[in-house]
Amino acid sequence: MRKVVIHSPGGYDRLRLEECEVPKPGAGEVVVETVAIGVNYADCIVRMGFYKSAKHFVGWPITPGFEFAGVVVAVGEGVGLELGMEVFGVTLFGAYATHVVVEDFQVFPIPTGFSLEEAAAFPAVFLTAYYGVCELVRMRRGMKVLVHSAAGGVGTALLQLLKIGGCYVVGVVGGAHKAEVARKFGADEVIVKREENLWQKAEEFSPEGYDIILDANGVETLGESYSHLASSGRLVIYGFHTMLSKGKSRPSYFKLAWDYLRTPRFSPLNMTSYNKSVLAFNLSYLFHKKEILLECMADLRQWIEEGKIQAPHITTFPLEDVAGAQRALESGETVGKLVLLSGKNSFPK
């Protein structure tokens, strides 16, 4: 088998494709020969050495990747899955490989109508979106919601779940080429940051503020996001993307330090006085929570079957061009999800 291995933090040159033995499953485990692997911004942070859970759970060397789709090729004792079954799943790192071994509760049958590539791009972004608006926040019909980065993987997943919940959704995108994507996936209104005053337009669409604002930008927008909450509003934070320079393989430590110092510190006294809340999470710390994972995926799969969820827009790269995929993602110009093609039908071995 082959897998991408990072031996120490740094730029794209740290992403090395190495040969190793195919893992054997233990009791309750399954081995999947991957065909497609989802690429997430967190994978880039892992490469740079700033992803805390990667250090906590794995350390160096590490193979990044949280999601995959492929074919079952081996099962351990007590596993009822059939060999040859097409599945998709999640893993706590290690997905950038031609073979992945995980516990059986972390894999699922391919959703009806989804290709393997679409299935590989599905779980990380939709589980993030689900946890943000179905676990941390109780959606109610008619809520006014602002979604930053609305044309990205998590953004388009959020738009769809919020529309299922009957919310009025304003999507924020960086460029005009992303506006139609946000509308396609459910945004009632779209703000293009490069062409419009973000917060002036946000106030026009909801003068009394927003019931929910979902923000993975970091210091660039967190302060204003909090300020634009309505009474009883909730700011949900799931990333800090703007702390890293776009299109650069290595971080600027000066920028990181400066942005860290400028990051808002939310006072419990202030939150109580103004009846606003701040919630935050990291999906990688939830993968071992079997009950939450199964409940989330059951709801998501039901909505797929009911035609309420669309597969994300996909752009593919061969596993050998993993650096190109991460470079494209870090540019900030992509829409939807990027997927690495790793299986025997994807590129010559």
Distance CA 127, CA 136 (A): 12
Closest CA to 132 of 280, 285, 271: 280
The answer to whether position 294 is within a domain reads: no
Is 151 in contact with 192 (CB distance < 8 Å)?
no
The answer to whether residues 34 and 72 belong to one domain is yes
Query: Which domain CATH number covers 189?
Result: 3.40.50.720
pLDDT at site 346? 44
The answer to whether residues 142 and 268 belong to one domain is yes
**Dihedrals φ, ψ of 266, to 5°?**
-90, 120
pLDDT at site 251? 74
Rounded to 5°, the CA angle 170-267-54 comes to 75
The answer to whether residues 141 and 274 belong to one domain is yes
The answer to whether residues 271 and 311 belong to one domain is no
pLDDT at site 349? 31
**In the beta sheet, which residues pair with residue 46?**
none
The answer to whether residues 104 and 159 belong to one domain is no
118-138 pLDDT, tens digit each: 999 999 999 999 999 999 998
Collect the ranges in the chain with pLDDT lower than 50: 345-349
Q: What is the pTM of this model?
A: 0.91
- DSSP per-residue string spanning 16-79: EEEE-PPPPP-TTEEEEEEEEEEE-HHHHHHHHT--HHHHHHT-SSB---SEEEEEEEEE-TT-
Residues near 62 by beta carbon (within 8 Å), at least 6 away in sequence? 5, 6, 46, 54, 93
The answer to whether residues 79 and 17 belong to one domain is yes
Q: For residue 162, what are its two tokens? A: 């919020």
The answer to whether residues 320 and 266 belong to one domain is no
**In the beta sheet, which residues pair with residue 39?**
338
Residue found by looking up tokens 């990333």 in the block = 239
The answer to whether position 233 is within a domain reads: yes
Q: For residue 36, what are its two tokens? A: 């497609």
For residue 312, which amino acid is it? Answer: P
Q: Point out the domain boundary residue: 280, 297, 319.
A: 280
Closest CA to 221 of 243, 206, 205: 243
Is 252 in contact with 230 (CB distance < 8 Å)?
no
Instruction: Tell me the three state secondary structure of residue 282.
Output: coil
The answer to whether position 348 is within a domain reads: no
The answer to whether residues 94 and 166 belong to one domain is no
Structural domain count, the chain:
2
The answer to whether residues 335 and 238 belong to one domain is no
The answer to whether position 73 is within a domain reads: yes
The answer to whether position 292 is within a domain reads: no
pLDDT at site 247? 61
The answer to whether position 115 is within a domain reads: yes
Cα torsion through 68, 74, 80, 82, rounded to 10: 80
Residue found by looking up tokens 């791009």 in the block = 121
Is 214 in contact with 239 (CB distance < 8 Å)?
no
pLDDT at site 245? 65
The conformation of residue 135, written as its DSSP 8-state character, comes to I
Query: Which domain CATH number covers 102?
Result: 3.90.180.10
What strands lie across the sheet with 144-147, from one edge to the other? Answer: 189-192, 168-173, 144-147, 210-215, 229-237, 277-280
The answer to whether position 27 is within a domain reads: yes
For residue 108, which amino acid is it? Answer: F
Q: Any idea how long the chain is?
A: 349
The answer to whether residues 274 and 151 belong to one domain is yes
Q: Whole domain around residue 46: which residue ranges?
A: 2-121+306-341
The answer to whether position 298 is within a domain reads: no
The answer to whether residues 268 and 318 belong to one domain is no
pLDDT at site 288? 78
Angle, helices 322-330 vs 41-48, to 10°: value is 110
The answer to whether residues 165 and 50 belong to one domain is no
